[in-house]
Structure 1
């Protein structure tokens, strides 16, 4: 019988798993934009973006379902209410979120999208305050939210040191949709935590991805969407996104089930860090613009305050 894991080691493992998920999600920004190029999807071709997203999530969900079935876990036999919850979670956290996310990413830079999407952390903190009695907003969390949103404002200022609020660069179909996607993700995370209390989080994730992905495919093809030429490069990139989705969302669901929402979601501060660095590297986007640097520092500082407050209460 192996010795029990110490609380310090458990927390370290939680932190490492959360950071790994954030690394995967950060890499999705340049991967999606490169996917558009490889599959020949124009920035205005929304139906084809839905097809691209649909294949990614449907395949990820089916792969997870095959794995959990092979491992002998229960994948059926729940009451109608449970199936309804799974369908709602799939429509919310996969279909609706990624309709906004894929369109938003196509209409802004990968660097800005990764920073804007960090607002999901603050939405999660606010939602947890009203839904969980042991996850209230403290002064540190409140200041973290304020500082983080200041970073979101900073990244949308006009270019150059002369940028002011009158030069605010914010497009609904770009940055706006990324923020809406972050809000939907926060709602889905809270709802998924509730469902996971009575169901294996991996099975929940598998059905969520499958249902949401199939709906995205149906919407995309019904409105005239299609993928361009399928090549080795485009297929490899799609395969990476499939693995990314199944791994990151499964691990994240497990972490949310066994930990407070504000503690786990606070680790999202690393998503804009990884996202900006990888977008700057793979997409050759500007990382050194003053507004990007200031925004990144503010967003990360804000979420660090939330993380510290949550960890002190753990």
Structure 2
């Protein structure tokens, strides 16, 4: 335990791991959109999107639970209370969040989606104010939230900044997903105080994935067109989730939230860059650049710790 703490509190290692996690999360935007194309899932086929998401998170959860077992962790010795907590976390952090996320991603661009989803940081700061005694809002955090939300607003304007383009099932669903994600993160932090991070993450992904799969199939959804490329993409998305969530939760377990969360500003940057590369989207529109800069400044401000005298 002490060895783990020494490793995961080393500033250089924290920076490397946090950056890696943000790269993985940023890559999810173009990966999911390409997944819809490879599996021939139309924009209106919501049930099949849920099945696609279900497969991803079931695999991700199983990978983590197998790894936990190999590492000697007790994955079956769970009390009724812990089982209820894990089920609730799975429904919140995986099922509910990704119902909105997967639908939202399909109804907007990858660049725009990555910027919209960055609102999770601002929601986390606002919720923490009402939940944690030692994590209250101050003028710096409030200003950071305002600047960040201005950036989110700007990306929804047309190139000439005269028309406001906002789709509730696109950008709106991504904002809802971001809010649910922040609620899930706070709830998950509470559970990991008395349970192993890898076990918690594994079960939450697995349970949430099962729920997504059932909801999708019962609604008539299905996923076919399994080829080598589409299967590899699905495996990448699954491993992305298992790696990013478990590593991020480990960083939060051994460090203060602020110094770790500040790296969240990299997610919209990676998301926008990778969407431009893999989806041929234009990142260099003035509104996108301005929005990215404002969002990153906002995230930096809400997570920057004031220097102590």
Q: Compute the TM-score of the two structures, normalised by the length of structure 1.
A: 0.93
Deviation of 1:141 (Å): 1.4
Write the mapping of 1:1-314 to structure 2, written as runs, cut at 5 A. 10-160=10-160, 163-164=161-162, 167-309=163-305, 312=307
SS at match of 1:309: coil
* Unaligned residue ranges in structure 2 (runs of 5+): none
Alpha-carbon distance between aligned partners in 1 of 2:240 and 2:290, rounded to the nearest angstrom: 29
Identify if the C-alpha distance between structure 1 residues 8 and 69 changes in structure 2 by more than 3 Å, giving closer, same or farther.
Answer: closer
In angstroms, what is the RMSD of aligned CA positions? 2.0
Q: CA deviation at 1:202?
A: 0.6
What is the CA–CA distance in structure 2 between the aligned matches of 1:110 and 1:52, rounded to whole Å?
18
Report how far residue 259 of structure 1 moved.
2.8
Query: What is the aligned residue count?
Result: 307
Give the deviation of 1:15 after TM superposition: 2.3
Q: Deviations over 1:50-93 (max 9, x none)?
A: 01000000011011111111221011223211110000000000
Rounded to whole Å, the distance in 1 between the matches of 2:54 and 2:143 is 38
Q: CA separation in 1, counterparts of 2:34 and 2:131?
A: 38
CA, structure 1 residues 135+47, in 2 after alignment: closer, same or farther (shift >3 Å)?
same
Residues 264 and 128 (structure 1), Cα distance of their counterparts in 2 relative to 1, 3 Å cut: farther
Check conservation: 1:151, 1:296, Cα contact below 8 A: yes
Alignment check: 8 A CA contact 1:100 1:178 kept: yes
Q: CA distance change for structure 1 residues 7 and 223 in 2, over 3 Å: closer, same or farther?
A: closer
Distance in 2, matches of 1:213 and 1:277, equals: 28
Deviation at 1:4, TM superposition (A): 11
Cα distance in 2 for partners of 1:7, 1:71 equals 17
Give the distance between the partners of 1:70 and 1:77, measured in 2 at CA.
15
* Shift, 1:198, TM fit: 0.2
**CA-CA distance at 1:305 after TM superposition:** 1.3
Q: Structure 1 CA distance, aligned partners of 2:77 and 2:20?
A: 33
Distance 2:30 2:240 in 1: 13
Change (3 A) 1:5 1:56: closer
Deviation, structure 1 residue 256: 2.0
Task: Summarize deviations over 1:280-312 as a string: whole Å, max 9, x none.
Answer: 0000001111110110000001111123236x4
Contact 2:258 2:304 in 1 (8 A): no
Give the TM-score normalised by structure 2: 0.95
Structure 1 portions without partners, runs of 5+: none
Change in CA separation of 1:85 and 1:145 when aligned onto 2, cut-off 3 Å: same
